[in-house]
Amino acid sequence: MAKGTEIVAFEGGQLIKRNSGVKGREVVLALPLSRFIVKVLRFPVDAVASELAEGILSEMTPFPDEPLTVGIEKVCEDERHQVVIAAALPESAAEDVASKLDEEKLNVVSVDALVFGELRTVWGKIGTSGRKIVIFRSPECLSLVILNGDMPCAIRSAALGSDIRRDITLSLLEAEDFCGSAELEEIVVVKRVGDEVVSEDSLNESLTSFGVPVRTIEVDLSDALDSIAERSEETGSLNALPESWSDVLKETRFKAKLTRFVAIACSIWAVALAVLIGVPFVFDYLTDYQKELCRRHSKAFRAVSDKRAKVKLVRKYSDHSLGALEIMKAVSDRLPEGIILSSWSFNRDEGLDIAGDSADSSSAYQLKDVLAEMASGEEEEGTLVFGSVRLGPLNKHKDGRQKFDLKCLFKEAE
């Protein structure tokens, strides 16, 4: 959907770009989980999940008069049910984001939660067995994801410095109501590379009160943005783009297309006008110029042509490779046994006519083939080259010998 589009994250009041080298004003925006209204929902497999999710999230919004545009992403599906993640971005909760985007003159084509990019990045390190709590720390909030195997069953954000135990307890109750009861195996804390605060504050002390192992893994923000880029190219991935933002995107694209169309039309009109006005002047100028060139070079051309004709004539009569003696020698060297020539007629411009008799018809045909092969290619210097060799009808004498006529034409000059 957004292939080749730049990925931008908003955290701590700043826009963070992926620096992928992609240029343009259209971006995919990744926001902290605290900006969204998000919930994991289960519906019958034949239900329209987007309509049902919109109704549920509309009841959860702190801005009841504000319409929500709900994006959904299917997590899993069986024969009876489908599990989806539904999220909406209230515009009232993203006014500072919109202002920053306007300053940078960026248009958003898709809105995703940054935590889903981080989750994809560290998925191989978390494991997919049992029930786990995965906590992602960002400059704006703590994001809690309860996993039951490989399926998210509860998602929640918590403010930094709040009582994390309360939010974890509420998330575990929600997961139990969604997937049933199960033992909590471990808690995984995902911190950003270079962030040492996690090990120094009271977060780990609050987590150890749950009596399960707590381990910490790291994630790089650039890797998370790369994962957001992969998600944006996948069909069915979450997109919580508000309707007003979508309208602005459509209007901006329409204006850009209109501007390009007007620019192209003006360019075509200018070119057509220039052609209508300029072509006659250019044509007259080029015509006069060519006439002047012809007059200037005609005398020199005639002199060169006369010289070439003389050179060709001299070369023709100084070339003895096609002379009568050379041809006679070449043909005599190739006479098959039993051939006696009785007539020889040579024309330098046309070719050679020969007559003779042979002991049998095969010798006459052999002579014809020899001369024809000489005409077909692979000539050596000084070898006769015939364009065609024609053998006339054979006449049998009283003594049994075959009388023949051969007409050999030179190859026409190219």
**C-beta neighbour count of 200 within 10 angstroms:** 8
**C-beta neighbour count of 145 within 10 angstroms:** 25
| pLDDT by 10-residue block (mean), the chain, 414 residues | 75 83 82 90 83 77 76 86 88 86 88 92 88 90 91 90 87 90 90 65 77 90 91 88 82 80 89 83 83 82 84 70 73 82 82 86 83 57 67 81 86 64
Query: What pLDDT is attached to residue 196?
Result: 58
Report pLDDT digits (tens) over 261-319.
888 989 998 888 888 888 887 888 888 888 888 888 887 888 888 888 888 777 766 66
Query: What pLDDT is attached to residue 288?
Result: 84
**C-beta neighbour count of 32 within 10 angstroms:** 21
Supply the DSSP symbol for 148: E
Query: What pLDDT is attached to residue 379?
Result: 44
Q: Which helix (H) or strand (E) covers residue 151, if one does? A: strand 151-158
Extended strands (E) in 22-130: 26-31, 37-44, 70-77, 81-88, 107-113
Query: What pLDDT is attached to residue 136?
Result: 93
Query: What pLDDT is attached to residue 198?
Result: 45
- Report the b/e string of 374-395 with b at 16+ CB within 10 A: bbeeeeeeeebebeebebeeee
Tell me phi and psi for residue 149, to 5 degrees.
75, -120
Q: Do the strands 107-113 and 26-31 form a parallel or antiparallel pair, or are they unpaired?
A: parallel
Query: What pLDDT is attached to residue 322?
Result: 65
pTM, rounded to two decimals: 0.61
**C-beta neighbour count of 7 within 10 angstroms:** 28
Query: What pLDDT is attached to residue 30?
Result: 92
Query: What pLDDT is attached to residue 208?
Result: 84
Query: What pLDDT is attached to residue 414?
Result: 52
Residues 6+ apart with CB under 8 A from 99: none
The CA angle 387-389-393, to the nearest 5 degrees, is 155
Query: What pLDDT is attached to residue 393?
Result: 85
Query: What pLDDT is attached to residue 377?
Result: 43
Query: What pLDDT is attached to residue 2?
Result: 53
Contact present, 109 and 2 (Cβ < 8 Å): yes
